[in-house]
Structure 1
Amino acid sequence: MPLRLKGLTLSSGVIQSPMAACTDLPFRLIAREKGLEFAYLEMVSAHALVQDSRKTLELMKSIPVDRPLGAQLVGCDPDIMAEAAARVEDMGFDLLDLNLGCPVPKITGGGDGAGSALLARPEDAGRIFEKVVKAVKRIPVTVKMRLGFKDATGAEAVAIARRAQDAGVCAVAVHGRTREQQYSGVANWKAIGLVKAALSIPVIGNGDVRTGEDARRLIEESGCDAVMLGRGALGNPWLYRNVAAVLAGSKEPPYVPGFAERKATLLRHLELEVEHEGERLASRNMKRIAPWYFAGLPGAAKFRNAVCTSEDTGTMRRLIEDFSPSAAPSEASLSA
């Protein structure tokens, strides 16, 4: 199920969503080792990028094997978004995405908020699309959005997506929830289909994909051209190969790693965190990351508590090595 975006072709149609505090370099490297073709950085503030924020530039670090790679900008000032977009292209990224999906009040707050707040201001969103597309010469520009600010019918997303298409955006990714829903309730895949029906550019479906079968049903219900994975891949990098297999027409049962592979992958993730983020950040990050891998297994809560109170990665490594559940994992436990 190839996805073609300007000069970029993605053979599998499986994309990892940009997620703040999640999709850092070690996360992406693990994902690629397990079969992911295309990944994004964490969301980046356009304003911070044009000011050469050291923290922002650190978020954008990569290495040659971490390709193809997209950057996602968030902001609400068309001129600053355009300037930041040109910077992203000059930095060598393969794709630029514009964030109209983040529901966090820190991003959406105020009358001129960014992220999903722009869904309620289509004229402002349209000006951003036009200026950014003009500023970027070579790489594809995409937009990630939600169904709407409050309206769950998909009408707001259709209106915004049409403006994006008219401005020259190459594709839109739609999360099947509104800003008001945050992450509650169930993603409305059929409403994503309304966006697909209204556009001629590719539409990427997102929301509640935790198994290969979920991906199949998302495409069946929405008609979307590709699948974007989000929280379902946290601690479950095997999801990429299962979704890719389903999109390629495979009828084989989903791949379920044994516990030894789960543990080895978590230890590898810890190793990459220390290598690329340093001891202090790795220790902080792994308190969030490590519990993902053992979620749903007997003893996982006790393991999480021990990891979260540990003070260094050496202790974390020993906790991981010593953990032993009394039940084998299943595909359902991987997405728990």
Structure 2
Amino acid sequence: MLPPGTAQVKAEFLLPINPSESSTKIVLPDDDAAEGSTSHARGHATAEGDQDMRSSGPRRGKLTKAQKKAQTGMNKGRRFGKVRDELDLCFQVAAGGMCDYGDQCRNNHDIPAYMAAKPADLSFPSAEEVQSMPLPKDMNADAPDTAPPPPIGKTACPVFSELGQCRFGFRCRFLGDHIRQTDTGTSELIKNEEKMAYAATASVEANRLSGHAQKLLRTKKYPFPIATAYQKEVEAVSGSTSQPKSTSAIVVSEPDQDMHDAVAPPEPRSGVDEIVEKRTGEITAPADAPDVPMRAVERKRLDWAGKTYLAPLTTVGNLPFRRLCVSYGADITCGEMGLANSFLAGSKEEWSLVRRHPSEKIFGVQIAGSKVANVVSATEVLAKECDSIDFVDLNCGCPIDLIFKTGSGSALLDNVNRLGRIVTGMSRALGEIPVTVKLRTGVKDGKNTAHKLMPRLAPEFNASCITLHGRTRQQRYTRLADWEYIKECVDAVRAREKDEDLPRVPIFGGGDCFSSQDYWTCVEQSGVDGVMVARGALIKPWIFTEIKEHREWDISARERLEGIRKYAEFGLTHFGTDTAGVNSTRRYLCEALSFQYRYVPIGLLEHIPGRINDRAPAFRGRDELETLLASGDSRDWVRISEMFLGPAPEAWSFTPKHKSNSYESQG
């Protein structure tokens, strides 16, 4: 008899349970940990440290709450250092150019020497070859030939195929696709002029921060005329008792901290937190600065009814994964959550989160922050420097401690006055670009507050779309999403719109959507315009096809493998085809597989559709590949990556972000 919460797999596919393991407690996948930070800062426990914590502590074998969390939570000591070639070649020389530093360059300029030491080319399988490519050998076998065979297919460079030239030149691990021998016996890089001309307008990632703007941000000299004017206006209104008459002005309707409290950070103060104060006396507004704020009726209206929406996802919601979901039918995509302070500091890592691929039809950037001045300033620079953003989303739902304790994310739900100032200021800074807001039902379990806040977001604060996740911050993933409460919130918004003859604002719900049936049932019963899909897309990215076609797709193992091949191709195009790029792609591919293994094929279930929180018992698939794709051993995820990216370096290993997503780490 299977325990409650276990996926009902047909008896013929169940594997026998080892009696010695029958009493072992099965740990559910820790999706709270999956939302956590990937920070590698000092002071975080390492995997070895976690083991030490388990062996220490109170007597009689009892574990403290912190120790129990260390057993099943995040692997905070993860390290994914860049894997480089033994003899590194200068990037400019590798691309066929001249190095700006000449003899002073720290990298190698000797192309023949580099080529002699460079690992052999990799080959990438085509979509047709995926249907018959062999499975990798068992890494745990005792046979001497345990190394997986190289991928089949010709040496095809994904970057060259898409852009007409490979920016990695001689460093590319698929070099054979874009090199030829000249009459003089030297090697020459190939360019496809026709593809390059097309790629210049259709295939280039957008929203790249210029070096000049990055320098201004890092030296705190970037001008913010709109944010500076807004800061003064908020300070003036906060110091008076009169209420603003215009809905486009600052709304101060509840007793709260004034603007000085919102701007001044706790001690010790960081350089980023002082940006606004330091620049106020140095920057003057340009002559063309807008004097009159854009009214809500002038803003671009969002018509998102019937569109599918991929949620912003920490770590795994990168550009290659979004491209994969778009290929399956996602209409709206949003980048990973970025921190306002990091945008203002010119962080290269943070600005990489706003990159957009041309295939993304409707694309937004998500921002988090607690200080009004910093969030509005970061929004202003996003609007100025990014030429391809359709909306900016304010995160008022992130539950993780790292964000909550700073007053960001779901902490804003208990500070409505500050939230209103932030959204109004963002709207002012963005001009015609819409502001959207993502919420949770409340902070504390049993104390929902969203039904009071949501009706105010559009008419008072100029929000253009609202997303509501059906759980409180405290609840996290411990219970199912409350779709009845989501309906209550939708009804509250629609009632105010009707009473005051307001424009209709799109509302998306979120929580536990794992099938076409789930999606359309939630839409019909709650009245939302759509459902933002998060975990469901991580476990089965093809959920968007199911939603669009109103069906449950019993996808085959080979079809799933083709999706993995696409992800690898998109990863190489984004992260690069050199040694470092190949292994960055490998890392994020394994991150994706740490969710996808949880999918139980429809054809194996007694009842369909499956449910997102059901834990699968040990089962075998309908073929060897389906069984391999269901493996929770992270070493198998590496094996799958080797089918497309070649053998992993000896020093490279993958540690899952959340421990309970790998059976090998549950001991």
Shared topology, TM-score over 0.5? Answer: yes
**Length-normalised TM-score, structure 1:** 0.84
Partner of 2:568: 270
Amino acid at match of 2:332: F
Instruction: Measure how far apart 1:283 and its partner are.
Output: 2.2
Amino acid at match of 1:102: C
Partner of 1:281: 584
SS at match of 2:365: strand
Structure 1 residue 89 corresponds to structure 2 residue 383 = yes
Post-superposition CA distance 1:95-149 (Å, at most 9, x none): 1110001001010015xx1000111111211111121111111111110000000
Amino acid at match of 1:162: P
SS at match of 1:119: helix
Written as runs of structure 1 = structure 2, the 5 A alignment for 1:36-47 is 36-47=330-341
Greater C-alpha radius of gyration: 2
Instruction: Measure how far apart 1:53 and its partner are.
Output: 0.6
Q: How many residues were matched structurally?
A: 305
SS at match of 1:102: coil
Q: CA RMSD in A?
A: 2.3
Residue of 314, 327, 331 corresponding to 2:642: 314
Instruction: Measure how far apart 1:50 and its partner are.
Output: 1.7
Aligned identity (percent) is 27
Task: Tell me the distance in 1 between the aligned counterparts of 2:516 and 2:643.
Answer: 35
Partner of 2:518: 214
Task: Tell me the distance in 2 between the aligned counterparts of 1:152 and 1:194.
Answer: 15
Task: Tell me the distance in 1 between the aligned counterparts of 2:632 and 2:405.
Answer: 36
Structure 1 residue 138 corresponds to structure 2 residue 138 = no
SS at match of 1:234: helix
Task: Tell me the distance in 2 between the aligned counterparts of 1:271 and 1:66.
Answer: 16
Answer yes or no: is the 8 Å Cα contact 1:45–1:74 preserved in 2: yes
Task: Tell me the distance in 1 between the aligned counterparts of 2:335 and 2:509.
Answer: 19
Change in Cα spacing, 1:261 to 1:147, as seen in structure 2 (3 Å) is same
Partner of 2:396: 100
Task: Tell me the distance in 1 between the aligned counterparts of 2:410 and 2:450.
Answer: 10
Structure 1 residue 161 corresponds to structure 2 residue 490 = no
Instruction: Measure how far apart 1:296 and its partner are.
Output: 4.0
Written as runs of structure 1 = structure 2, the 5 A alignment for 1:51-62 is 51-62=345-356
Answer yes or no: is the 8 Å Cα contact 2:397–2:440 preserved in 1: yes
Task: Tell me the distance in 2 between the aligned counterparts of 1:51 and 1:260.
Answer: 45
Partner of 1:333: none
Answer yes or no: is the 8 Å Cα contact 2:302–2:464 preserved in 1: no
Task: Tell me the distance in 2 between the aligned counterparts of 1:172 and 1:265.
Answer: 31
In terms of mean alpha carbon deviation, does 131-140 or 39-48 score higher?
131-140
Instruction: Measure how far apart 1:176 and its partner are.
Output: 0.2
Partner of 2:557: 259
Written as runs of structure 1 = structure 2, the 5 A alignment for 1:1-336 is 6-10=300-304, 12-90=306-384, 91=386, 92-110=388-406, 113-152=407-446, 154=448, 156-165=449-458, 166-199=460-493, 200=497, 201-246=505-550, 253-277=551-575, 278-296=581-599, 298=620, 299=627, 300=629, 302=631, 304-307=633-636, 313-314=641-642
Partner of 1:325: none
Instruction: Measure how far apart 1:208 and its partner are.
Output: 0.5
SS at match of 1:23: coil
Amino acid at match of 1:60: V
Instruction: Measure how far apart 1:80 and its partner are.
Output: 1.3
In terms of mean alpha carbon deviation, does 276-285 or 230-239 score higher?
276-285
Unaligned runs of 5+ in 1: 247-252, 320-336
Task: Tell me the distance in 1 between the aligned counterparts of 2:382 and 2:594.
Answer: 33
Unaligned runs of 5+ in 2: 1-298, 498-504, 576-580, 601-619, 621-626, 648-667
Amino acid at match of 1:242: E
**Length-normalised TM-score, structure 2:** 0.43
